[in-house]
Copies of this chain bind each other. A is one copy, B any other.
């Protein structure tokens, strides 16, 4: 069974102390998937993914990038850090928009939450830009794809 290193008996919430960890280059990539109903996907394609509120994917990339920078302001025990790279790509896969967000930093802690937050807020923005067409849009399968530079690599 998976176990945590230690559990404080009083369940006191706390930020992990990273002050004595080494600064290394950390990179993480997260992915999410916005599932459009078929007729919504068709409508969006026929309009080159522009809606009355503007270009869907460009707006989502900007919102996702700004959210990635603010991750520590949203997730209580994420350390504040100055991300050095945030790349977002959105591509259609059938009727799904697949969002990928890669974040890098030289720091004492990883950036998987930054990548996940960037991807999630981009997906929420896609929803917002398209919800006048349908409320049956789903945000599916947000997950970490890759992680480099910490104690253990992923992906």
**A interface residue numbers (CB < 8 A to B):** 1-8, 11-19, 25, 32, 39-40, 42-43, 46-47, 50-55, 57-59, 61-63, 65-67, 69-70, 72-89, 104-108, 112-113, 116-117, 120-121, 123-125, 127-129, 131-144, 147, 154
Contacts and interface: CB of A to CB of B under 8 A. Distances in A.
A40 to B, nearest CB: 5
A136 B145 CA distance: 9
Contacts of A55: 11, 13, 55, 58
B85 A19 contact: yes
A116 B14 CA distance: 17
Contacts of A106: 19
Contacts of A3: 43, 133
In the complex, the 8 A-B pairs of residues with the closest C-beta atoms, listed nearest first: A13-B54, A139-B142, A19-B84, A17-B85, A80-B82, A2-B43, A11-B50, A19-B104
Contacts of A46: 1
Given A52-B4, A58-B58, A125 B75 contact: yes
Contact of A134 (B2, B54, B133): B2
